[in-house]
Chains A and B, each alone.
Chain A
Amino acid sequence: MKNKKGLIKQDSGRRKFLKMGIFASGAAVTAVGLNVFADDKTTGEKVKVMTTDGKTVEVDSGSLEKESCCNSHAVSNKEAREGMPGKKFVMVVDLSRCRNALKCQDSCNKNHFITGHNAWLKVYNMRESADTAPYWMPMMCQHCDEPACVTVCPVDATFKRRDGIVLIDNERCIGCRFCMAACPYSTRIFNWSEPDQKAAMEAVDHSPKYSPEHAGSPSIKGTVDKCDFCPHMTRQGKLPHCVSACPNDVFLYGDAYEDTVTNGSGQSYRLSKLLEDKAGYRYLDRLGTHPSVYYLPPAERSDDFVDGLENYTEFESVRKPE
């Protein structure tokens, strides 16, 4: 195992998670650190992905899909509002690794049955000014510690849990959209009409049972949706869909109290060290939102920005079945 600075030895990392009961089994890891499962879903289509040590390899695109989640997790509304004790969930997004592969978005869309026109996770084509380099920036709900959306919600339909996650109770939301006006990250989407999720659910054999912990299952007309930080996965010891779907290990997810974050390949890092070494920052933090998502700057990028343009669709973030 690699033992770069800050990289916890994988075995001990795994054991640690087993102890915590989190991410215990989800992250099966191959030698190159890809999410390749013994899976018969080979498509014959090869895609280029980057390994954790920066090499580019070709694998079958079917092998990148994770198995979809489950119907079993639903917790009571009270539990869903309280959150898990003794946890503070955080995400780290390594911008230097993102090449707009969009596997994160596909997986999030698929597993949250997003069938509208606006994804919860978007990879922005970012360029701050004419003399800085462009980069790809995955952005989902930042699960702010001072969430503007929660402050303005008149009915406590959107709420902050003790584990840091911000969720929406779609059975309570009155659809005023004030939270959308308040969120500076434009991550909230509205169900303008009756969501048509039937095909998307059938495709993965999912029977919807509403829980704020699994947003989009189902989505409810006239209410707001957004990234839920996938507590329905965490409860099963698995990583969020976007994290495990990313072929480039852009995302790391974990518990700030444990000071540990894990990427899709199952490698764990010390959060504090990672942020310090790589000059991690939080986006628009000057507004006072205090996000739970950290970004590592797009420095020393291992690939070319323009490669990502191939996947870039300015006017689409939810791919429609043909």
Chain B
Amino acid sequence: MSKYDELIVELAPRKFQRYGKIWTTGLIIVVILGIIAYIDQIIKGQEVTNMRDYVLWGVYISNFVFFVAISFVGSLGAAILRLTKKAWRTPLVRIAEIIAFAAIIMAGLTIILDMGRPDRLLNLFIHGRLQSPITWDVIIITTYIAISLLILYIPLLPDLAILSKYFKGKTWLSKWYGFFSLKWTGSKKQWEIQSKSIQIVAVLIIPVALILQTVDAWLFSTTYRIGWDSTNFGPYFIAGAFVVGTGGLISVMYVLRKAYHLENHITNMHFDKMGRLLVFACLVYLYFNINEYLLPAFTAPKAETEHLDELFTGLYAPLFWFVTIGGLILPILILIFPKGRKPLPLFIIALLVVVTSWWKRYLIVVPSLLHPFMPMQGVPESWHSYFPSLHEWAIVSGTLAMALLIITILVRYLPIIPIYRTAKEQGILETDKEGQL
């Protein structure tokens, strides 16, 4: 077997072993539970949630913001890594794109879960009004879904052709790969079109990703609410997305390396580099957090002080400090040391970053709603506070599991490490006389 063939065998998608099967089944069960809870919510109304007239957005929206955020570096990183043409990034790009794609699809879905009348979804298109930030969100999310699909798909074409050949024995699999490879033969013309398209999409995705995060921030900062009404929110959200995106990528990278024994491709060097990126992201985010929380503490009028007090020392203090220390300070302190950037410690930190980032979104959404301008009066006592109900947890878990399931399915059927590029970079590519695969 030639080196090239060995590489294909190594990188071609494989059937799941025991753990893979258990994992997938587990995810499917969680998704199904989520769907059941959602159907119940449709029937009974959103009464089954713990949202009420004061806390009118809860964990659905914070989860939505989380998905939007994590979709950011997955994609933007990919674009930057692609545009910089650094060879070391080859094994990471596709993983990043897969995460981005799964996350943005789920972002689109989760916002529907929050709607009181999902049956009227089409009104967004029939009666859409341009001045509403939600309309901007609808436009930008659909655009981003399309672009992340393209940036995932176009570079896949040569690999799909390779796989179509490789799976010759299994006709149906081979046929599918062949079908999706769009009759890729590797002719000069095809290469030209492909590389041009990748360039265009990679350039496009950067502004779109930035706008996406900013529009998401504007959902909040276009209101008068204390804690949301901030001109700092756009860059603040971008920086936060940078952090959680990097964290997400590292986590998935680590798991895939373990599961598929990709130590030859995803090396310690990759972890070291990603660790540095994460420190950098955290530092930038820290700066915006100081702007967002510490500065107002000096000049805030009474109502705002109350809001900040609740975060610093009040009801939400444990969560606030967990998120700030666990998601920002600790990663910085640990990852500035090279030892901290070894795969395992980095993986643990990255997981912590992802988890705290999820709660961070919760802290952005919920406490502000508990500090309206009018005093909270004339509503049942339970409306004065919020913690997600069982239905909400089930549905949110369902969406998270669904995102992981999409990633899992893509990983099952796509080469996570680009075969063609890797072969080319290692100089072991084999083509026929015309340079075709």
CB distance from B269 to the nearest CB of A (A): 46
Whether A186 touches B115, Cβ cut-off 8 Å, given contacts A153-B132, A192-B52, A315-B378, is no
CA A156 to CA B46, docked complex, whole Å: 22
Residues of B within 8 A of A173 (CB): 116-117, 120
Indicate whether A154 sits within 8 Å of B134 (C-beta atoms), given known contacts A172-B127, A176-B114, A184-B224.
yes
Q: Report A84-135 residues with CB < 8 Å from chain B CB.
A: 117-119, 122, 124-126
Question: Which A residues touch B219, using CB under 8 A?
Answer: 178
Q: How far is the CB of B113 from chain A (nearest CB, A)?
A: 11
Residue contact B378 to A154, C-beta cutoff 8 Å: no
Measured CA separation A314–B115 after assembly (Å): 29
The yes or no answer to B369 lying at the interface (CB within 8 A) is: yes
Give B373's nearest chain A residue, CB to CB. A184
| Closest-CB distance, B310 to chain A (whole angstroms) | 18
A122 to B380, CA, bound (A): 14
Tell me the smallest distance from the CB of B39 to a CB of chain A, in Å: 15
Interface 1/0s, chain B 371-409, versus A by CB < 8 A? Answer: 011111111110100000000000000000000000000
CA A154 – CA B127 in complex, angstroms? 8
* Residues from chain A with Cβ under 8 Å of B372 in the complex: 184, 186
Please report A residues at the B interface, Cβ cutoff 8 Å. Answer: 117-119, 122, 124-126, 139, 148, 151-157, 172-178, 180-182, 184-186, 188-194, 221-224, 284, 287, 313-317
Q: How far is the CB of A317 from chain B (nearest CB, A)?
A: 3
Determine the chain A residues whose CB is within 8 A of the CB of B380 once the complex forms.
117, 315-316
Contact among A153, A178, A185, A189 for B53, CB-based, below 8 A: A189
Contact A174 B57 (CB under 8 A): no
Docked complex Cα distance between A317 and B381 (Å):
12
Report how far A217 CA is from B374 CA in the complex, Å.
Answer: 27
CB of B375 within 8 A of CB of A124, answer yes
Q: Does B263 contact A (CB under 8 A)?
A: no
CB nearest neighbor in B for A126: B375
* A124-B377, A125-B375, A156-B127 known; A222 vs B45 contact (CB < 8 Å): yes
Known A-B contacts A124-B374, A154-B124; the reply to A181 vs B381 at CB < 8 A is no
State A191–B116 Cα separation when bound (angstroms): 9
> Are B134 and A192 in contact (CB-based, < 8 A)?
no
Q: Is the CB of A156 within 8 A of B129?
A: yes
A266 CA / B219 CA spacing, docked (Å): 45
Contact A181-B373, Cβ < 8 Å, known A174-B120, A317-B378: no
List residues 55-92 of chain B with CB under 8 A from any CB of chain A.
Answer: 56-57
A119 partner, pick from B117, B132, B222, B378, beta carbons under 8 A: B378
Does the CB pair B223–A155 fall under 8 Å? no
The distance in angstroms between the C-alpha atoms of A190 and B222, with both chains bound, is: 21
When C-beta atoms are compared, the residue in chain B nearest to A318 turns out to be B378
Known: A192-B45, A192-B47. A222 touches B377 (CB 8 A): no
Question: Chain A contacts of B117 at CB under 8 A?
Answer: 173-175, 222-223
Q: How many Å lie between the Cα of A312 and that of B372 in the bound state?
A: 20
The reply to whether B52 and A155 form a contact with Cβ atoms under 8 Å apart is: no
Is B24 interfacial (CB 8 A cutoff)?
no
What residues of chain A lie closer than 8 Å to B57, measured between beta carbons?
177, 181
A184-B224, A188-B53 known; A155 vs B369 contact (CB < 8 Å) = no
In whole angstroms, what is the CA distance A173 to B119 when docked?
11
Contacts of A185 in B (CB 8 A): 373-374
- Contacts A151-B131, A152-B133, A154-B138 given: A313-B378 contact, CB under 8 Å? yes
Given pairs A174-B121, A188-B53, 6 additional interface contacts (CB within 8 A): A118-B379, A151-B132, A174-B116, A176-B116, A177-B56, A182-B222
Q: Are B124 and A155 in contact (CB under 8 A)?
A: yes
Nearest 7 interchain pairs by C-beta: A175-B116, A222-B116, A317-B378, A154-B134, A193-B47, A193-B45, A154-B132
Given the complex of chains A and B, what is the CA–CA distance between A55 and B378 in angstroms? 30
Whole-angstrom CA separation of A29 from B54 in the bound complex:
40
At the interface, yes or no: B128 with Cβ under 8 Å from chain A?
yes
Would B224 and A182 count as touching, CB distance under 8 A? yes
Partner of A315, one of B49, B129, B381: B381
Judge whether A190 and B56 touch: CB under 8 Å. yes
Q: Is the CB of B225 within 8 A of A176?
A: no
Q: Is there contact, CB below 8 Å, between A148 and B56?
A: no
B44 at the interface (CB under 8 A from A): yes
